[in-house]
Amino acid sequence: MEQKDIFIEVKGLCFTYNDDAGNNSPDASPALCNLDLKVARGEYVSILGHNGSGKSTLAKLLSMILIPTSGEIYIDGHLVSSPDISDDEIYEVRKKIGMVFQNPDNQLVATVVEEDVAFGPENLGIEREEMKKRITEALEMVGMTEYRRHAPHKLSGGQKQRVAIAGIIAMLPDCIIFDESTAMLDPLGRRDVIEIMERLNKERGITVLNITHYMDEAARANRVVVINDGEKVLDGTPKEVFSHVDELHSMGLEAPQGKELIHALNKCGIKVSDDALSEEECVEAIYSALIGD
Amino acid sequence: MISDITLGQFFPGNSPLHRLDPRCKIILSVLFIVAIFIADTPIAFAFLFLVTLFLIIISRISAKVIFKGIKPIIFVVVFTSLLNVFLTVGKGAPLVEFYFIKIYTEGIVRAIFMSLRVILLIIGTSMFLTYTTSPITLTDGIESLLSPLKVIKLPVHAFAMMMSIALRFIPTLVEETEKIMNAQKSRGADFSSGGIIKRAKALIPILVPLFVSSFKRADELAVAMECRCYRGDINRTKLVKLEYKIRDFIWIFVFALILSATILTKFLPDMITRASEVLDILFYHI
Amino acid sequence: MDSVLEVRNVSYLYSKGTPFERVALDDVTVSFERGKITGLIGHTGSGKSTLVGLLNGLNKPLSGSILLNGIDIWQKPKEIAKIRYKVGLVMQYPEYQLFDETVERDIGFGPRNQGLSDEEVGLRVKEAIRYTGIDADLLSKSPFELSGGQKRRVAIAGIVAMQPDVLVLDEPAAGLDPKGRREILGHLKDFVSERGASVILVSHSMEDMAMYCDNVVVMNEGKIHSNGTVSEIFSRADELISIGLDVPSVARIAEKLKSRGITLDGELYTVDGVKAAIRKYIGGANNDL
- For C114-163, how does the pLDDT look when each residue is reduced to its tens digit (9 = 90+)? 999 999 999 999 999 999 999 999 999 999 999 888 999 999 999 999 99
B6 pLDDT higher than 60? no
Does residue C242 belong to any structural domain of this protein?
no
**Residue A170: closest CA among A107, A83, A95:** A95
Which residue of B172, B228, B231 is in closest CB contact with A119?
B228
CATH number (domain holding residue C57): 3.40.50.300
- Residue B47 domain boundaries: 10-133+245-286
Asked whether residue C28 is domain-assigned, the answer is yes
C203 and C41 Cβ atoms separated by less than 8 Å: yes
Rounded-to-integer distance, Cα C279 and Cα A45, Å:
36
In a domain? residue C240? no
Q: Measured between alpha carbons, how far is C220 from C236 in angstroms, rounded to an integer?
A: 15
Question: Which of the listed ranges A185-189, A231-235, B87-91 does the model predict with the highest average pLDDT?
Answer: A231-235
Contact B114, B80 (CB under 8 A): yes
The number of folded domains in chain B is 1
Per-residue pLDDT tens digits for C241-256: 788 788 888 988 998 8
pLDDT, mean of residues A186-215: 94
Exposure on the CB side of residue A16, measured as CA atoms within 13 A: 14
Three-state SS at B180: helix
Find the mean pLDDT for residues A209-238: 94
Residues 6+ apart with CB under 8 A from C49: C92, C170, C202
Is the Cβ pair B175, A153 closer than 8 Å?
A: yes
Q: Provide the domain limits for residue C189.
A: 3-235
Distance CA A104, CA C6 (A): 36
Tell me A225's DSSP state: E
Give the Cα separation of A145 and A164 in Å (integer). 13
Question: What is the C-alpha to C-alpha distance for residues A171 and B240, in angstroms, rounded to an integer?
Answer: 17
Quote the percentage of chain C above a pLDDT of 70. 97
Mean pLDDT for all residues in chain A = 90
Do C221 and C254 have their domain in common? no
**Does any domain span residue B253?**
yes
Mean pLDDT of B243-251: 91
Q: Please compute the mean of the pLDDT values over residues B235-249 and round it to a whole number.
A: 88
Nearest to C269 by CA among C286, C251, C287, C284: C251
Q: Name the residue ranges covered by the structural domains of chain A.
A: 6-255
CB contact under 8 A, B136 and A112: yes
Complex ipTM value? 0.90
C20 and C152 in a single domain? The answer is yes
Q: B176 CA to chain C: closest CA distance, Å?
A: 9
| Residue C80, domain member (yes or no) | yes
Subunits with 3+ Cβ pairs within 8 Å of A are: B, C
Residue B202 pLDDT class (50, 70, 90 cuts): confident
- Residue C34 predicted with pLDDT over 80: yes
As a whole number, mean pLDDT of residues B78-95 equals 84
Ranking A77-81, A239-243, B89-93, B116-120 by mean pLDDT, the lowest is B89-93
Mutation test of the interface with chain B: which of C113, C124, C169, C200, choosing the one with the most B Cβ atoms within 10 A?
C113
**What pLDDT score was predicted for residue B8?**
53
Indicate if C170 and C273 belong to the same structural domain.
no
Is A28 a residue whose pLDDT tops 70?
Answer: no
A108 CB neighbours in chain B (<8 A) are 168
- Residues of B with a Cβ under 8 Å from any A Cβ are 12, 134-136, 164-165, 167-168, 171-172, 175, 216-217, 220-221, 223-231, 235-241
Residues C127 and C77 reside in one and the same domain: yes
Structural domain A6-255, CATH architecture:
3-Layer(aba) Sandwich (3.40)
Burial of A246 (0-12, 13-18, 19+ CB in 10 A): exposed
Q: Is the dihedral of CA C223, C228, C229, C233 positive or negative?
A: negative
Distance CA A25, CA A48 (A): 28
Over residues A120-127, the mean pLDDT reads 95
Q: Is the pLDDT of residue C289 over 60?
A: no
Residue A206 has pLDDT above 90, yes or no: yes
Specify if B265 maps to a domain: yes
Q: Which of A96, A111, A147, A174 to substitute to test the interface with B, most B CBs within 10 Å?
A: A111
> Given B186, B188, B209, which is nearest C98 (Cβ)?
B209
C52 has pLDDT over 60: yes
Any idea how long chain A is? 293
Residue B4 has pLDDT above 50, yes or no: no
User: Could you tell me which of A95, A99, A45, A79 has the C-alpha nearest to residue A221?
Assistant: A45
- A18: confidence class by pLDDT, cuts 50, 70, 90: confident
| Sign of the four-CA dihedral A259, A262, A268, A271 | negative
Amino acid, single-letter form, for residue C18: T
Whether residues B187 and C58 touch (CB distance < 8 A) is answered with no
Q: Would the pLDDT of C16 be above 50?
A: yes
B268 versus B179: the higher-pLDDT residue is: B179
- The model's confidence at residue C28, banded by pLDDT at 50, 70 and 90, is very high
Q: Which of B172, B217, B227 sits opposite A99 (nearest CB)?
A: B227
Q: Which residue has the higher pLDDT, B258 or B1?
A: B258
Same domain, C224 and C253: no
Task: Let me know if residue C175 belongs to a domain.
Answer: yes
Q: Do the bridges between strand C87-90 and strand C166-170 make them parallel or antiparallel, or are there none, so unpaired? A: parallel
User: Which residues in chain B touch residue C85, judged by CB atoms under 8 angstroms apart?
Assistant: 188
Q: What is the pTM of this model?
A: 0.86
| Burial tier of A158 (Cβ tally within 10 Å: 0-12, 13-18, 19+) | buried
Within-domain flag for C241: no
| Chain A contact present for C177, CB below 8 A | yes
Task: Work out how many domains chain C is built from and give that number.
Answer: 2
- What confidence tens digit (pLDDT) does each residue in A129-168 have? 999 999 999 999 999 999 998 888 889 999 999 999 999 9
Tally Cβ neighbours within 10 Å of residue B90: 16
Residue B170 domain-assigned (yes or no): no
User: Which chains neighbour B (Cβ–Cβ under 8 Å, 3 or more pairs)?
Assistant: A, C
**Inter-chain residue contact C84 with B186, CB threshold 8 Å:** yes
Amino acid identity, residue B184?
Q
What is the gyration radius of the CA atoms in chain A, in angstroms?
21
Residue C288 is predicted with a pLDDT of 45
For residue B83, is it within any domain? yes
In a domain, B192, yes or no: no
Burial annotation C190-215 (CB, 10 A radius, 16+ → b, else e): ebbeebebbbbbbbbbbbbbbbbbbb
Chain C's closest residue to A290, CA to CA, is C282
Is residue B79 assigned to a domain? yes
Q: Which of B216, B221, B228 sits opposite A171 (nearest CB)?
A: B228
- The whole-number average pLDDT for the span B273-280 is 86
The verdict on residue B226 lying in a domain is no
State how far the alpha carbon of C250 is from the alpha carbons of A48, A82, A257, A283, C228, in Å.
22, 48, 6, 10, 20
Is residue A260 very low, low, confident or very high in pLDDT (cuts 50, 70, 90)? very high
- Looking at the fold, whether C57 and C92 belong to one and the same domain comes out as yes
